[in-house]
Amino acid sequence: MSETSKFYDIPAGKIAAVVTYLEMCTAPKDGEVSVELNGELRRVEYPDPDWYLNLFRSIGEELLWFGRLTLSKEQLSSILRDSNYEVYVLQADGKDAGLLELDYRTDGDCELTYFGIIPDLVGTGTGRALMARAIELAWSRPIRRFWLHTCTLDHPRALHFYLRAGFTAYKREIEIADDPRITGALERSATPDVPIIEE
């Protein structure tokens, strides 16, 4: 351990993660990211908040996804139904199996705000194919940058996955937030690998 290393207490009731920001500033050449998607990807123009939150939980509960769970249904609908915000669902084997969200609300940018597949499909190549579609869709508009962030609570291979997809890391932060299992946003049984620490 380096003598210059520092440790900081995380208050009880909180979770912490290292967040890495990544960007892609040039559209890939045609065919560079072409991968066949096993399933149908369709845009959901006016997502029903209950449908959306059910899919959000089925993909992100074990990764402690909580950002959408802290919003009122009115706040959530306002985001999801904005004309510069696009929500896509992947349907595979007759069920909703993936989520892809593109945010164009900042001029010249597209943020990949949420991206994921249900746990059963992890490791099948579905994520790689869905990312290829995300890149294609993002650059179908006149943007200068496609970006996202991931964190250490995400899938262990997530950062490597995004780097392989062509993104470059450019910034890191520490995020400290209320533990969503304590606030009730998620079940207490979610993500047992991350212990709950209460006062």
pLDDT band at 33 (very low <50, low <70, confident <90, very high): low
Q: Does residue 139 contact residue 25 with C-beta atoms inside 8 Å?
A: no
Is there a domain that residue 9 lies in? no
Is there a domain that residue 104 lies in? yes
Is there a domain that residue 36 lies in? yes
Predicted pLDDT at 79: 96
**Residue 169 predicted with pLDDT over 70:** yes
Predicted pLDDT at 31: 58
Predicted pLDDT at 32: 54
Q: How far is CA 27 from CA 16, 17, 58, 74, in A?
A: 33, 30, 31, 35
CATH number of domain containing 44? 3.40.630.30
Predicted pLDDT at 48: 95
Looking at the 3D structure of the chain, how many domains does it have?
1
Predicted pLDDT at 197: 96
- Alpha-carbon span 25 to 58, nearest angstrom: 31
Predicted pLDDT at 1: 61
Mean residue pLDDT of the chain comes to 93
Is there a domain that residue 141 lies in? yes
**Residue 2 predicted with pLDDT over 90:** no
Weakest-pLDDT range from 28-42, 106-120, 134-148:
28-42
Weakest-pLDDT range from 2-11, 81-90, 144-153, 175-184:
2-11
Q: What mean pLDDT comes out for the span 186-198? A: 93
Domain housing 162 = 32-180
Is there a domain that residue 2 lies in? no
**Residue 88 predicted with pLDDT over 80:** yes
pLDDT band at 4 (very low <50, low <70, confident <90, very high): confident
**Residue 172 predicted with pLDDT over 90:** yes
Is there a domain that residue 195 lies in? no
Is there a domain that residue 19 lies in? no
Helix boundaries (H) for 83-157: 126-138
Predicted pLDDT at 38: 79
pLDDT tens column, 52-63: 999 999 999 999
- Alpha-carbon span 52 to 73, nearest angstrom: 10
Q: Does residue 12 contact residue 103 with C-beta atoms inside 8 Å?
A: no
The gap from C-alpha 164 to its chain's centroid, in whole angstroms, comes to 16
**Residue 39 predicted with pLDDT over 90:** no
**Residue 81 predicted with pLDDT over 70:** yes
Q: How far is CA 46 from CA 41, 58, 85, 156, in A?
A: 15, 20, 10, 32
Is there a domain that residue 164 lies in? yes
Predicted pLDDT at 53: 97
